[in-house]
Amino acid sequence: MVPSSAGRSPAPSRVGFSLFGAGSPALSRRTLMRGTALGAGALALPAALAACGGDDDKGSDSGSKEVSFGSNYSDPVPKTAMESVLKGYESKASKTVKINTVDHNTFQENINRYLQGTPDDVFTWFAGYRMQFFASQSLAADISDVWSAVGSGFTDALKKASTGEDGKQYFVPFYYYPWAVFYRKSVFQQRGYTPPKTLDEFKALCEKMKTDGLNPIAFADKDGWPAMGTFDYLNMRINGYDFHVKLMAGKESWTSSQVKQVFDTWRGLLPYHQPGANGRTWQEAAQSLVAKQSGMYLLGAFVGEQFTDADRADLDFFAFPEINSQYKQDAVEAPIDGFMVSKKAKNTSGAKDLMKYLATPDAELLFLKSSPNNVATHKDADTSGYSQLQKKCAELVGGAKQVSQFLDRDTRPDFASTVMIPSLQSFINNPNDVDGLVKSIEDQKKTIFTT
């Protein structure tokens, strides 16, 4: 999130200027006395306040009865949902869970420092390379024993996503949401559109939308990450999931013809995307979908949050179209959110016990009650309470041959944020210089992936 500039140098003082002799009348004795007291108090204050401020955080070393939980579920609705999930655990296991909530962005920005400092026993995190990175740095605890107890409830793909580079498990999945091309049913019905299955059909549909006065594809990349979804899908459709994974791991070259083909295909589609993407937030783009100004939007299922309850029933999606018949529509991008145990946990056994609970379908469903855009990961989760859209999401991911996690979770965070974000934005500004772009990415990649 947003670190602001700390300690800006104050105006050297609006004061300094009575250099020329204007002074102020001397303070009265009373004010001086007050001043002294204040001064003395100031010195004692930090100690006193820190002491009373520090009381509530006695730490979870008060025996194995308390487990601490570091959470980034800072939005009010997920926050309450998470609290109810953990209360469920408390009553079941007669233990206490101490929740430490930090706002979403700050939590992520700080994760490196957090895990090295005084982390909570269990913390919320994501699957993918981002998880493996911390595992390999010995900042996360091995929970393979938890998996041997609860692993049967998850598919192999999920187990793979929870496994670190050394073959041990470090992560327990909670829920996920797919990325797909969303549209409004009413708009499609009214204009007689049908969801396309191949790239050619997709292009034809875009043409039709254009002539009908709609903006075919909503598009926004002010925050830098939304465009990654488009890149991922294009890459997986054109070159296959394996190539994509290798590219993310730095094992394939960005100057290869495969990658160039991805960008060339994207350039062909750009005219159908909303112009001015780099100045638009994904929320504004989603609003254009809500307002029926745009026909389609490739985004995660959280796009539903932009719709009012009444309109949400009108929301539907289709899987990203096939481009290469070799790969069809096998891969689905579905980021998984879940939990890990920190290496420096004070109460590891309690933490693992909590993880076992969090891996149950009950816990997942309890959370999802207030989360209509996400889908449970457990095989046995009862899907009867799902909305139409949720059921479709579950089918999409369930039927996927491979599941990717999204670019910024599948690759090194420094590569994703310092190289890919600016590169994708510059591609959107200037899609014609693909050679220059991929060379720049490759050169930068070499400086990062060697370390």
Distances (CA, A) of 281 to 215, 274, 290: 16, 12, 14
Q: Is 443 in the site for another protein (CB under 8 A)?
A: yes
Stretch that binds another protein, among 7-15, 149-157, 185-193, 258-266 (CB under 8 A): 7-15
Smallest gap, in angstroms, from Cβ of residue 42 to another protein?
A: 4
Interactions with another protein, residue window 374-413 (CB under 8 A): 413
Smallest gap, in angstroms, from Cβ of residue 380 to another protein?
A: 27
Distances (CA, A) of 204 to 55, 207, 210, 288, 320: 65, 5, 10, 21, 15
Q: How many CA atoms lie within 13 A of 387 on its CB side?
A: 17
Q: Which two tokens stand for residue 426?
A: 């510059």
In the complex with another protein, the residue whose CB is nearer, 12 or 63, is 12
Residue closest to 331 by CA, chosen among 397, 248, 281: 397
Interactions with another protein, residue window 195-234 (CB under 8 A): 222-224
Cα-Cα-Cα-Cα dihedral of 332, 335, 339, 344, to 10°? 110
Q: How far apart are CA 83 and CA 342, in angstroms?
A: 20
Interactions with another protein, residue window 297-356 (CB under 8 A): 300, 302, 305-306, 308
Among 112, 255, 261, 370, binds another protein (CB under 8 A): 112
- Residue that the structure tokens 């290469």 belong to: 324
Among 34, 37, 57, 191, binds another protein (CB under 8 A): 57
Return the exposure string of 148-169: e unless at least 16 CB atoms fall within 10 Å of the residue's CB, then b: eebbebbbebbeebbbbeeebb
What is the total count of residues that contact another protein (CB under 8 A)? 112
Residues 266-305, one symbol each (x = binds another protein by CB under 8 A, - = not), give: ----------xxxxx--xx--xx-xx--------x-x--x
Q: How far apart are CA 243 and CA 245, in angstroms?
A: 5
Which residues, 6 or more positions from 22, have their beta carbon under 8 angstroms from its beta carbon? none
Among 67, 81, 108, 345, binds another protein (CB under 8 A): 108
In the complex with another protein, the residue whose CB is nearer, 362 or 433, is 433
Q: How far apart are CA 437 and CA 444, in angstroms?
A: 11
Smallest gap, in angstroms, from Cβ of residue 19 to another protein?
A: 4
Q: How many CA atoms lie within 13 A of 351 on its CB side?
A: 30
Smallest gap, in angstroms, from Cβ of residue 115 to another protein?
A: 8
Smallest gap, in angstroms, from Cβ of residue 174 to another protein?
A: 14
Among 92, 242, 418, 435, binds another protein (CB under 8 A): 418
Smallest gap, in angstroms, from Cβ of residue 190 to another protein?
A: 20
Phi/psi of residue 331, nearest 5 degrees: -90, 140
Smallest gap, in angstroms, from Cβ of residue 73 to another protein?
A: 8
Interactions with another protein, residue window 29-48 (CB under 8 A): 31-32, 35-36, 38-39, 42-43, 45-47
Which residues, 6 or more positions from 208, have their beta carbon under 8 angstroms from its beta carbon? 191, 193
Residue closest to 437 by CA, chosen among 447, 417, 450, 422: 422
Q: Is 75 in the site for another protein (CB under 8 A)?
A: yes
Q: Is 63 in the site for another protein (CB under 8 A)?
A: no
In the complex with another protein, the residue whose CB is nearer, 53 or 271, is 53
Q: Is 256 in the site for another protein (CB under 8 A)?
A: no
Q: Which two tokens stand for residue 3?
A: 């670190």
Among 64, 93, 95, 110, binds another protein (CB under 8 A): 110
Residue closest to 305 by CA, chosen among 389, 216, 410: 389
Q: Is 255 in the site for another protein (CB under 8 A)?
A: no
Smallest gap, in angstroms, from Cβ of residue 238 to another protein?
A: 25
In the complex with another protein, the residue whose CB is nearer, 291 or 432, is 291
Among 34, 37, 50, 399, binds another protein (CB under 8 A): 50
Q: How far apart are CA 77 and CA 61, in angstroms?
A: 30
In the complex with another protein, the residue whose CB is nearer, 294 or 360, is 294
In the complex with another protein, the residue whose CB is nearer, 205 or 285, is 285
Cα-Cα-Cα-Cα dihedral of 246, 247, 252, 256, to 10°? 140
Is the Cβ–Cβ distance between 81 and 367 less than 8 Å?
yes
In the complex with another protein, the residue whose CB is nearer, 15 or 156, is 15
